[in-house]
Amino acid sequence: MHIEFSPDDFQVALSTSVVLYGFDGEDLKLLIGTKTNEPYKGADVLPSVVVKPKEDPILVARELMRSITGFDDWLIERLNVFADPYRNPVGRVVNIAYYGTLRLSEDLENDLRHSEYRWVKADHIPPLAYDHNDIVDYSKERLKRRVKRRPIGFSLLPREFTLNQIQRLYECALGRELDKRNFRRKLLKSELLIDTGKTIRSSPRAKRPSGLFRFDEKKYRTLSLEGYDFVYQ
Partner DNA sequence: ACAAAAGTGTTACACTTACACCCATGT
Partner DNA sequence: ACATGGGTGTAAGTGTAACACTTTTGT
Judged by the rule CB under 7 A, the positions of this chain that interact with DNA are 162-164, 179-182, 184-186, 189, 199, 201-211, 231, 233
Nearest approach in angstroms of CB 208 to DNA is 3
Report the side by side order of strands in the sheet with 193-200: 160-161, 210-215, 193-200
- Is beta strand 193-200 parallel, antiparallel or unpaired with respect to 93-102? unpaired
- Work out what residue 162 binds among a copy of itself, DNA, none; the CB cut-off runs from 5 to 8 Å by kind: DNA
Of the candidates 63, 67, 83, 113, which one interacts with a copy of itself according to CB under 8 A? 83
The stretch among 10-18, 162-170, 208-216, 217-225 that binds a copy of itself (CB under 8 A) is 10-18
Under rule CB under 8 A, residue 52 binds a copy of itself: yes
**Is residue 186 helix, strand or coil?**
helix
The stretch among 87-95, 100-108, 160-168, 188-196 that binds a copy of itself (CB under 8 A) is 87-95
Please state, in angstroms and rounded to a whole number, the distance separating the CA atoms of residues 175 and 121: 13
Nearest approach in angstroms of CB 111 to DNA is 28
Short-list 136, 173, 141, 137, CA closest to 154: 173
Dump the DSSP string for 50-82: EE-TTS-HHHHHHHHHHHHHSS--EEEEEEEEE
Of the candidates 70, 85, 175, 209, which one interacts with a copy of itself according to CB under 8 A? 85
Cis before 39? omega within 30: yes
Please state, in angstroms and rounded to a whole number, the distance separating the CA atoms of residues 178 and 93: 42
Cα torsion at 143, 147, 150, 153 (round to 10°)? 100
Nearest approach in angstroms of CB 81 to a copy of itself is 4
**Partners of 193 in beta bridges:** 215
Question: Nearer Cβ to DNA, position 105 or 164?
Answer: 164
Nearest approach in angstroms of CB 157 to DNA is 14
Of the candidates 28, 30, 93, 122, which one interacts with a copy of itself according to CB under 8 A? 93
The stretch among 28-36, 105-113, 182-190, 216-224 that binds a copy of itself (CB under 8 A) is 28-36
**Number of neighbouring beta carbons within 10 Å of residue 65:** 22
Instruction: Using CB under 8 A, list all residues that contact a copy of itself.
Output: 1-5, 8-15, 33-37, 45, 47-50, 52-57, 78, 80-81, 83-85, 90-94, 96, 116, 231, 233
